[in-house]
Homo-oligomer: A and B are copies of this chain.
């Protein structure tokens, strides 16, 4: 039954990725350790050989998810024509696809309000993710407008959260569109 070192590392990675998706989809309180393990194709017994607690997994899963999102946004910005980097980041973040797939998306939007109540590692991870996003946005802003990056990131997160909260599809789309069109105005 035992796996080699390398395989064990893969197993661990698999747990983290599975957890990152599951937590973004169901919330950290919405899925149990046991179900995460089952989803990863394992039994729950071995869990504490990998992580010291559920919170430790949450922290790692969030960090992984935040990295994933930052990388995707950075790639979108790089792909964009010159001068359109910021708009590309905003458009990618506020796409209907992102709204409809929280399990693959930004952990700040998916878990922000719950993780804000945590102390310790998970909250830390989230804070670093936020800073990461701000730095990415700031790269595409002129020197003298760096401060606007914070408001832009806030606007992106809030628009996604509200768009997901709205039952009415049309209204939800309108929220995304309004933010896509208006947020770039925040630097001028």
Contacts and interface: CB of A to CB of B under 8 A. Distances in A.
Nearest to A133: B162
Interface stretch (A34-42, A52-60, A152-160): A152-160
A110 to B, nearest CB: 6
Interface residues of A, number: 54
A179 B162 contact: no
A114 to B, nearest CB: 6
Nearest to A174: B150
A161 B157 contact: yes
Main secondary structure of the interface of A (DSSP, over half): helix
Contact of A153 (B27, B113, B162): B162
27 contacts: A29-B30, A108-B161, A108-B162, A110-B113, A112-B161, A112-B164, A113-B114, A113-B164, A116-B165, A123-B165, A127-B165, A127-B167, A147-B174, A147-B181, A148-B182, A151-B159, A151-B178, A151-B183, A154-B155, A154-B158, A154-B161, A155-B155, A157-B157, A157-B162, A158-B160, A185-B185, A186-B186
